[in-house]
Chains A and B, each alone.
Chain A
Amino acid sequence: MVLSAAQMAAMSRLLDEALPLDAAGRRRWLEHLPPEHAALADVLHAALMQSGSETSGAGQFATLPKIGSAPEAGAVSTSDEIGPYRLLGSSAAAAWARCGWLNAPTARTSARSR
């Protein structure tokens, strides 16, 4: 959902009211949300459900993603096709650090063009 600055400001004020409440209090608070904030009811409900969770929702910004990170082990396997190439095997020195190698014919890879 695209939130405007005004909606973010309203959400900030409303969360100040709701976050200190327990689960039952939050449910009652949502039921009595003033009509002028009806457009935010769904996002507030979702936010309050996620509050305190470290595995989803609010937890998603806990750390900055790695920049230029290599794919996780198992992300690709032999016989996978990448563009006109098919992976034949792994190499300890494979240039996974950058995705640009896919377009570089001189890059060292364990792939063979079809």
Chain B
Amino acid sequence: MQDGDETARDALFAATYGELRRLARSRLRDGGRNTLLDTTSLVHESYLRFVKVRQLRVDDRRAFFGYASRVMRSVIVDSARERLAECRGGGVRPLTLTTKLVENLVDDEETILKVHEALDVLAQADARLAQVVEMRYFGGYTEREIAEALEITDRTVQRDWEKARLILGAALK
């Protein structure tokens, strides 16, 4: 997608941005019961809600799914950064820990941030590969949903997904 197209698309969906972020953040902070954000359900529910109140049209679905995966990524990355800051003291004097407890707690957040950073580099190398990862990893979409949103075949999504994971795996070693 060209930069101009992407800007136009973002403007089209700008009205949904705040609501998407608010919903995602509220689910991440529901008292720890749902720490794994179910992004797919959230995007589907949000889409239907926006259509109902006529903020979106039914035929915006494909493009909205691509846009929503970027919003989910930003919420997840922000949350991971906040938790890492909390775990590293958050301004409170640090304790000397004698167990691996905190190390284990921060591993997942660090993985998310490393994937996020490597994905930025991958986007410069191959924008579609990066978008497939964003939609699969951060958006949680199925291969079929990604194929539909990007207007490519399921087989192409499968190949892109395997290739992107191998490249990211090499970059994160």
Contact = CB atoms under 8 A, between A and B. Distances in A.
A70 B104 CA distance: 10
Residues of B contacting A: mostly: helix
Contact of A75 (B32, B76, B104): B104
Contact of B87 (A5, A46, A70, A99): A99
Q: How large is the interface on A (under 10, 10 to 19, 20 to 34, 35 or more residues)?
A: 35 or more
Given A19-B162, A76-B101, A47 B169 contact: yes
A16 B162 CA distance: 11
Given A67-B36, A67-B108, A100-B86, A47 B121 contact: no
A102 B99 contact: no
B35 interface: yes
Given A69-B35, A71-B101, A6 B125 contact: yes
B171 interface: yes
Nearest to A62: B165
A71 B166 contact: no
Given A83-B96, A84-B95, A100-B87, A67 B171 contact: no
A83 B137 contact: no
A60 interface: yes
Contacts of B86: 98-100
A59 B133 CA distance: 13
B108 A80 contact: no
Contact of A8 (B35, B83, B93, B167): B167
B108 A65 contact: yes
A76 B99 contact: yes
Interface in B99-121: 99, 101-102, 104-109, 111-112, 115, 118, 121
A42 to B, nearest CB: 9
Interface in A37-89: 43, 46-47, 50-52, 57-61, 64-72, 75-76, 80-84
Interface of A: 1-9, 11-12, 15-16, 19, 43, 46-47, 50-52, 57-61, 64-72, 75-76, 80-84, 97-100, 102-103
Interface of B: 28, 31-32, 35-37, 39, 76, 79-80, 83, 86-87, 89-90, 92-99, 101-102, 104-109, 111-112, 115, 118, 121-122, 124-126, 129, 133, 137-138, 140, 159, 162-163, 165-171, 173
